[in-house]
């Protein structure tokens, strides 16, 4: 038997030769890729310290393990207000606390005004549009146009307040149809809030029965949730996983394509009877700008960037304001004494029948304090929108190279113990002075700071005040049979409450 075994050896060697030859190139390629990835994962010299990561994926796994903003605040207590994370070869720094965020976004506003060229953003908008666009001519042109149009067709017009009040009536009447029975307010708030942006962008509102528009908003907001998932962070680190036919990134791309088609058709429809240089809404104003710049080869106005900008404005305006109102309703039902206090102020300043008006806001410090506390406590956009550095820079002695991803932990600012007493307690009175007058706080930055700060802040503040006061003027809010919903937020780029039911009873 011995010689037979000995005979087999040269045969195996002969069979293994071609196999090895075939396997060698992919093995070498894999080896080269692993080495390249490990080199990418090295901290640049002088970079801030941070938690140790795993080979290849760095700290991505930690982001999936708990709420990322909470994890980051905890890490800042170990590594300092500015620390680094390795997002699978993507170098990122995290800014925690008011001082660090202000030092970068305000004191070095230009350097910190870029957006990171992450594969997800590249795939979705080619870094064009407005919200995700690189800091440069494209962003400047699109931001200026949006700010001007929002002023012209929105909050700059006296009549615009009246349009929000009209929408409030549709909203309250729709709530009335439930006659105090339990229901989920989410869809009605989403419809009412998105209609305010729709008036500016398309010059029209959509009825609450328009299922096509609602479906578009639903899948768009699903994408906001998916964009913060660990598997999408993995896609950013290893974009080649995009070829796999499964995974959350595939759902995200499918939704984005559907939203793109919907907006494309809608834009065609609302611009059908356009008269040049007589804009009726954002779409007309954009097309006018495109015409004016048609001979400029460097112009950044294009049909594609129009669709991206419209999508970004709709979702940035809807997802945020809707969630603030949903949290506000939840907290009013949770704390009936606070609800009663707001209603007392409404009755005193506005009365039971007149529509609330913005001029009354300055006479309603308690209501203002409640809305501010909801924005502080609930952290609708906990990590802001990722920034990037446009040049090499130095912060607190750390070297931050150009192109570094910058995460602004706005949650950590609103829970910064240097600026807030007992930040984990919901306490509207923190925004009132000893005379009961409203006081502004520096470390209140739900709309972020610096050049990329939210361009919808003024509109959002108008909507929040008018919708919230109209709602509490007409209804008393309570949970059905005293059942208190889960207060843990649902995770995503924005924090929203878990679905909950509410009874809205006529006062």
What is the C-alpha to C-alpha distance for residues 53 and 230, in angstroms, rounded to an integer?
15
Coil, strand or helix at 133: coil
Closer to ligand HEM by Cβ: residue 195 or 197: 197
Options 316, 395, 406, 472; binder of ligand HEM; rule CB under 6 A:
316
Looking at the chain, the number of H-run helices and the number of E-run strands are 17, 8
Closest-approach residue to ligand HEM (CB): 456
Cβ(284)–Cβ(271) under 8 Å? yes
Q: Does 313 bind ligand HEM (CB under 6 A)?
A: yes
Options 86, 284, 312, 416; binder of ligand HEM; rule CB under 6 A:
312
Shortest CB 313 distance to ligand HEM, Å: 5
Helix or strand holding residue 84 (H, E): strand 82-86
Strand partners, 58: 54
From the list 184-192, 315-323, 352-360, 436-444, the region that binds ligand HEM by CB under 6 A is 315-323
Q: Does 300 bind ligand HEM (CB under 6 A)?
A: no
What is the C-alpha to C-alpha distance for residues 285 and 141, in angstroms, rounded to an integer?
12
Per DSSP, the residues of 381-426 read STT-S-EE-SS-EEETTEEE-TT-EEEEEHHHHHT-TTT-SSTTS-
Site residues for ligand HEM, window 196-215 (CB under 6 A)?
197
Shortest CB 61 distance to ligand HEM, Å: 26
Tell me if 378 is assigned to a ligand binding site.
no
Site residues for ligand HEM, window 375-394 (CB under 6 A)?
380-381, 384-385
Build a one-symbol-per-residue string for 318-357: x at contacts with ligand HEM by CB under 6 A, - elsewhere. --xx--x---------------------------------
Residue 365 φ then ψ, to 5°? -60, -35
Cβ(364)–Cβ(345) under 8 Å? yes
Closer to ligand HEM by Cβ: residue 47 or 447: 447
Cβ(440)–Cβ(434) under 8 Å? no
Residues 6+ apart with CB under 8 A from 281: 149, 153, 199, 200, 201, 202, 203, 270
Shortest CB 381 distance to ligand HEM, Å: 4
Site residues for ligand HEM, window 433-472 (CB under 6 A)?
446-448, 452-456, 459-460
Closer to ligand HEM by Cβ: residue 58 or 327: 327
Q: Does 131 bind ligand HEM (CB under 6 A)?
A: yes
Positive or negative, the CA dihedral 326, 328, 333, 339 is negative
Q: Provide the binding-site residues for ligand HEM, judged by CB under 6 A.
A: 130-131, 143, 197, 312-313, 316-317, 320-321, 324, 380-381, 384-385, 408, 446-448, 452-456, 459-460
Provide the annotated binding site for heme: 454
Provide the annotated binding site: 454
């Amino acid at each position: 038997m011995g010689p037979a075994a000995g005979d087999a050896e040269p045969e195996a060697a002969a069979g293994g030769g071609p196999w090895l030859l075939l396997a060698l190139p992919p093995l070498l390629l894999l080896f080269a890729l692993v080495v390249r990835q490990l080199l990418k994962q090295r901290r640049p010299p002088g970079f801030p310290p941070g938690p140790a990561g795993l080979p290849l994926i760095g700290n991505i796994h930690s982001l999936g393990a708990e709420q990322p903003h909470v994890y980051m605040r905890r890490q800042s207590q170990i590594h300092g207000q500015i620390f680094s994370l390795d997002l699978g070869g993507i170098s990122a720094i995290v800014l925690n606390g008011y001082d660090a965020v202000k030092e970068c976004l305000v004191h070095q506003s230009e350097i910190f005004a870029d957006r990171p060229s992450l594969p997800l953003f590249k795939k979705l908008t080619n870094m064009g549009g407005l919200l995700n666009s690189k800091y440069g001519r494209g962003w400047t042109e699109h931001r200026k146009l949006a700010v001007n149009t929002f002023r012209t067709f929105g909050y700059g017009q006296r009549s615009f307040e009246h349009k929000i009040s009209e929408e409030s009536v549709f909203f309250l009447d729709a709530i009335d149809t439930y006659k105090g029975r339990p229901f989920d307010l989410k869809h009605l708030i989403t419809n009412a809030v998105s209609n305010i942006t729709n008036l500016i962008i398309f010059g029209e509102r959509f009825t609450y029965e328009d299922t096509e528009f609602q479906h578009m908003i639903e899948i768009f907001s699903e994408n906001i949730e998916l964009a913060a998932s660990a598997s999408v962070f993995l896609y950013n680190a290893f974009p080649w996983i995009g070829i796999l036919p499964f995974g959350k990134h595939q759902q995200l791309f499918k939704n984005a394509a559907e939203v793109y088609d919907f907006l494309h058709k809608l834009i065609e429809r609302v611009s059908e009877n356009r008269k040049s240089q007589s804009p009726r809404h954002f779409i007309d104003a954009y097309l006018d700008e495109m015409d004016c710049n048609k001979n400029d080869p460097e112009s950044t106005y294009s049909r594609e960037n129009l669709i991206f900008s419209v999508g970004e404005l709709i979702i940035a305006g809807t997802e945020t304001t809707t969630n603030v109102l949903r949290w506000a309703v939840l907290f009013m039902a949770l704390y009936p004494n606070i609800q009663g206090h707001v209603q007392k102020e409404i009755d005193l300043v506005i009365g039971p029948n007149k529509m609330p008006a913005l001029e009354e806001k300055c006479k309603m410090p308690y209501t203002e304090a409640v809305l501010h506390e909801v924005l502080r406590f609930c952290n609708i956009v906990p990590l802001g929108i990722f920034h990037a550095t446009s040049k090499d820079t130095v912060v607190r002695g750390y070297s931050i190279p150009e192109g570094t991803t910058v995460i602004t932990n706005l949650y950590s600012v609103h829970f910064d113990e240097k600026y807030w007493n007992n930040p984990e307690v919901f306490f509207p009175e923190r925004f009132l002075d000893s005379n009961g007058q409203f006081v502004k706080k520096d470390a209140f930055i739900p709309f972020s700071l610096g050049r990329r700060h939210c361009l919808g802040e003024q509109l959002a503040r108008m909507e929040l005040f008018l919708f919230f006061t109209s709602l509490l003027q007409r209804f008393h809010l309570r949970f059905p049979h005293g059942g208190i919903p889960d207060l843990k937020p649902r995770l995503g780029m924005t924090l929203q409450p878990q679905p909950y039911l509410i009874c809205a009873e006529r006062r």
